[in-house]
A and B are shown apart, each in its own frame.
Chain A
Amino acid sequence: MTGGEVEVVDLVKEFNEVVAVDGINLQMPAGEFFSMLGPSGCGKTTTLRMIAGFEQPTSGQILLDGHNMAFTPPHKRNVNMVFQNYALFPHLNVFDNIAFGLRRDKRPKAEIRRRVADALELVQLTGFEKRKPGQMSGGQQQRVALARALVLQPAVLLLDEPLGALDAKLRKALQIELKELQQQVGITFIYVTHDQEEALTMSDRIAVMSAGRVEQVGPPQDLYEEPTTTFVADFLGVSNLMTVTAQGASSGRCKVALGDFELYAANGDVSTIGETRIVIRPERVRLEAHQSTGENRIPGMVERVVYLGNGNQIIVGLANGERIQALVQNTGDELAYRQGDPVKAYMPAEALRVLTDTGTAPLEDDPRAHAEVHPLEPVAEEASSPNVNV
Chain B
Amino acid sequence: MSQALARRPARESEFGYTRRLRGWFGNQWGKPRFLVLVTWGYIVWSIVPVLIAIQFSFNNSRSLSIWHGFTLKWYTSTDPNIDSVFHSAELRGALEQSMKLAGLDVLIATPIGVLLALGLARWRGRGSGASNLLMLFPLVTPEIVAGVSLLLLFSQLLTFVPFGTVAQLLGHVTFSISYVVVIVRGRLFSIGRSYEEAAADLGAAPATRLTRVLLPLLLPAIVASAAIVFAISIDDFVISQWLSNGANSTTVPMEIYDATRATPQPSTDGIATVIMVITLLSVVAGVLVYRFFTRGESGRGSAVDDVAGFGI
Report A's interface with B, CB cutoff 8 A: 52-54, 73-76, 79-81, 83, 85, 87-91, 100-101, 104-105, 132, 134-135, 148-149, 152
Distance of A91 Cα from B195 Cα, bound (Å): 11
- Chain B residues numbered 173-223 whose CB sits less than 8 Å from any CB in chain A: 194-195, 197-205, 208, 212-213, 216-217
Distance of A79 Cα from B200 Cα, bound (Å): 11
Beyond A83-B194, A89-B199, A132-B296: 5 further Cβ-contacts under 8 Å? Answer: A54-B200, A83-B197, A90-B296, A104-B202, A104-B204
A101 adjacent to B203 (CB under 8 Å) = yes
Which of A74, A79, A105, A152 gathers most chain B CB within 10 Å?
A: A74
* B297 interface residue per 8 A CB criterion: yes
Subset of 28 A-B contacts with CB under 8 Å: A52-B201, A54-B200, A74-B200, A74-B201, A75-B203, A80-B201, A80-B202, A81-B198, A83-B197, A85-B194, A87-B197, A87-B198, A89-B195, A89-B198, A89-B199, A89-B217, A90-B217, A90-B297, A91-B216, A100-B199, A100-B204, A104-B205, A104-B208, A134-B296, A134-B298, A148-B202, A152-B202, A152-B203
Smallest Cβ-Cβ distance to B294: which chain A residue:
A90
Which residues of chain B come closer than 8 Å to A104, judged between CB atoms? 202-205, 208
Which residues of chain A come closer than 8 Å to B25, judged between CB atoms? none
Distance of A347 Cα from B204 Cα, bound (Å): 58
B201 adjacent to A81 (CB under 8 Å) = yes
Which residues of chain A come closer than 8 Å to B202, judged between CB atoms? 75, 80, 100-101, 104, 148-149, 152
B200 adjacent to A105 (CB under 8 Å) = no
Q: Mark B279-312, 1 if CB is under 8 A from A, else 0.
A: 0000000000000010111100000000000000
A135 adjacent to B194 (CB under 8 Å) = no
Distance of A75 Cα from B202 Cα, bound (Å): 6
Which residues of chain B come closer than 8 Å to A135, judged between CB atoms? 296
Given contacts A75-B204, A80-B201, A132-B296, contact A91 B217 (CB under 8 A): yes
Distance of A76 Cα from B208 Cα, bound (Å): 14
* B interface, size bucket: 20 to 34
Which residues of chain A come closer than 8 Å to B200, judged between CB atoms? 53-54, 73-75
Which of A53, A73, A104 gathers most chain B CB within 10 Å?
A: A104
Distance of A203 Cα from B231 Cα, bound (Å): 58
Smallest Cβ-Cβ distance to A105: which chain B residue:
B203
How many residue-residue contacts, CB under 8 A, span A and B?
A: 66
Distance of A135 Cα from B298 Cα, bound (Å): 10
Smallest Cβ-Cβ distance to A91: which chain B residue:
B216
B201 adjacent to A75 (CB under 8 Å) = yes
Which residues of chain B come closer than 8 Å to A89, judged between CB atoms? 195, 198-199, 213, 217
Distance of A73 Cα from B205 Cα, bound (Å): 9
Which residues of chain B come closer than 8 Å to A100, judged between CB atoms? 199, 202, 204, 212
Distance of A339 Cα from B199 Cα, bound (Å): 59
Which residues of chain B come closer than 8 Å to A149, judged between CB atoms? 201-202
A75 adjacent to B205 (CB under 8 Å) = yes
- Chain B residues numbered 109-165 whose CB sits less than 8 Å from any CB in chain A: none
Which residues of chain A come closer than 8 Å to B297, judged between CB atoms? 90, 134
B68 smallest CB distance to A (angstroms): 54
Smallest Cβ-Cβ distance to A134: which chain B residue:
B296
Which residues of chain A come closer than 8 Å to B198, judged between CB atoms? 81, 83, 87-89
Which residues of chain B come closer than 8 Å to A105, judged between CB atoms? 203
Which residues of chain A come closer than 8 Å to B194, judged between CB atoms? 83, 85, 87
B76 smallest CB distance to A (angstroms): 44
Which residues of chain A come closer than 8 Å to B213, judged between CB atoms? 89
Distance of A105 Cα from B204 Cα, bound (Å): 9
Which residues of chain B come closer than 8 Å to A87, judged between CB atoms? 194-195, 197-198
Distance of A89 Cα from B202 Cα, bound (Å): 12
Distance of A80 Cα from B202 Cα, bound (Å): 7
Which residues of chain B come closer than 8 Å to A91, judged between CB atoms? 216-217, 293
Distance of A75 Cα from B209 Cα, bound (Å): 10
Which residues of chain A come closer than 8 Å to B217, judged between CB atoms? 89-91
Which residues of chain A come closer than 8 Å to B204, judged between CB atoms? 75, 100, 104
B197 adjacent to A74 (CB under 8 Å) = yes
Smallest Cβ-Cβ distance to B200: which chain A residue:
A74
A202 smallest CB distance to B (angstroms): 22
Distance of A75 Cα from B203 Cα, bound (Å): 4
Which residues of chain A come closer than 8 Å to B199, judged between CB atoms? 89, 100
Distance of A90 Cα from B213 Cα, bound (Å): 9
B45 smallest CB distance to A (angstroms): 40
Smallest Cβ-Cβ distance to B295: which chain A residue:
A134
Distance of A81 Cα from B162 Cα, bound (Å): 56
Which of B203, B217, B298 gathers most chain A CB within 10 Å?
A: B203
Q: Mark B232-255, 1 if CB is under 8 A from A, else 0.
A: 000000000000000000000000
Distance of A105 Cα from B205 Cα, bound (Å): 11
Distance of A57 Cα from B133 Cα, bound (Å): 31
Which residues of chain B come closer than 8 Å to A83, judged between CB atoms? 194, 197-198
Which residues of chain B come closer than 8 Å to A132, judged between CB atoms? 296
A58 smallest CB distance to B (angstroms): 16
Distance of A90 Cα from B202 Cα, bound (Å): 16
B93 smallest CB distance to A (angstroms): 43
A107 smallest CB distance to B (angstroms): 11
Which residues of chain A come closer than 8 Å to B195, judged between CB atoms? 87, 89
Distance of A386 Cα from B213 Cα, bound (Å): 54
Distance of A134 Cα from B199 Cα, bound (Å): 18
A100 smallest CB distance to B (angstroms): 5
Distance of A134 Cα from B298 Cα, bound (Å): 7
Distance of A89 Cα from B217 Cα, bound (Å): 9
Which of B198, B217, B295, B297 gathers most chain A CB within 10 Å?
A: B198
Distance of A250 Cα from B216 Cα, bound (Å): 71
A263 smallest CB distance to B (angstroms): 51
Smallest Cβ-Cβ distance to A52: which chain B residue:
B201
Distance of A53 Cα from B206 Cα, bound (Å): 14
Distance of A376 Cα from B298 Cα, bound (Å): 46
B197 adjacent to A54 (CB under 8 Å) = yes
Which of A76, A85, A135 gathers most chain B CB within 10 Å?
A: A85
Smallest Cβ-Cβ distance to A100: which chain B residue:
B202
Smallest Cβ-Cβ distance to A158: which chain B residue:
B201
B206 smallest CB distance to A (angstroms): 8
- Chain B residues numbered 69-112 whose CB sits less than 8 Å from any CB in chain A: none
